[in-house]
Amino acid sequence: MKKKDKQQKPKEMPEFEFKEFSPEESRIYEEAVNKYRESVTEGLTLKQAYESFVVSDPELRSLIQADFLKILIAERHFALGQGLEEVARSLDVGIELIRDTHARMLQEVGVTAANQFGQEFGSLTPKTSD
């Protein structure tokens, strides 16, 4: 049996880089999100919604699709109070995808809030040793 290390180092917050979009990427992003939303509203699954609008750049496509899922979770889970299982079921995706995305959203919010706090108030390190 292995003993736990009682002096585990605190985990650092993960780093997130938020992409700066070119005007063309912004246009594609808006168009894709609108089309995905329209498709989901019409009752299509998430996969079918993603297939309803082609984004040729694989990196941009992945980012837009991940953001769209976050938007749906925010609207349905946080705003409407639907359970994560219900969100997964309605989109016809696995609950693990929803839970993982939900966890990522909370991490991003925490990191963003911590960074904003640091920018506004600086370090919380005491200036004296007493």
Domain limits, the chain: 23-120
Tokens at 107, concatenated: 């991490």
**Cα separations in angstroms, 129 against 10, 31, 81:** 22, 55, 47
Model confidence over 3-35: pLDDT tens digits? 444 444 445 545 556 778 999 999 999 999 999
Count CB neighbours of 94 within 10 A.
10
Q: Reply yes or no on whether the pLDDT at 82 is more than 60.
A: yes
pLDDT tens by residue, 59-73: 999 999 999 999 999
Could you read off the pLDDT of 33-51 as tens digits, one per residue? 999 999 999 999 999 999 9
